[in-house]
Structure 1
């Protein structure tokens, strides 16, 4: 994860892949997954010079928490969290061993629980579920920088 610069000026390398992955096996690891997301985004900002708003920092941690919680709750074995910077977005990808595709329930303020994917799909710019040879992978993306009005590009303010 190096920098290309002249006269000590930092310029992010567009062609460089910036990502991190970690496996999680227990429900106690959900906090560790949030920490990984926070530290990754801090490095994206400090090392690569890419803007990461405080609002996006919080949203990504919530999304990671919800996706890893679902993987740990509904799939046997470990899950794999991958965070990657792609074209000004952070892609959050969670693989788990279950072949059962998730159900995104319609909003229901009277329902207790099961709002995780509802939250994720409300704040992301893209959302996809892919079957893998073993299990499935859920990927959601969020823009790294907010616009001047405070809402991330392509998203409505919450």
Structure 2
């Protein structure tokens, strides 16, 4: 699957204990009405059981400036949030500063599929930072994606939102 470029995100939750999170790159839109997304998490994950027991979780879609953060949340550690700037959303889930966008989700269904959990989740809230560039994982390395360029009537090119 290394030939397939994916976005990169951190799934995070906070309950009675410290905030927990993990890097994922298997994230997809499932439905617009109702708004649903899917993610896949390996059965071997030590973090997913802590996240799934919470009433909701955040998907922090990483920006091009967050490669180190991506790696930190991808390695086994109990203190991934210790050196990260973050706040709790109005829903009580961790939002990492500087992300491209974030979603607050609640689990609708969870299926055991091969060696992963396929998790269908309802999107309760979403926010974006349109000025940031996206982080892409492709062929075992990081790439970035900037704003969409559009051509004006005069032939000049502009980043979307300009």
The normalised TM-score by structure 2 is: 0.29
Identify, as 1 or 2, the structure richer in strand: 2
Structure number having the greater helix percentage: 1
Q: Identify which of structures 1 and 2 has the higher relative contact order when contacts are C-alpha pairs closer than 8 Å and 6+ apart.
A: 2
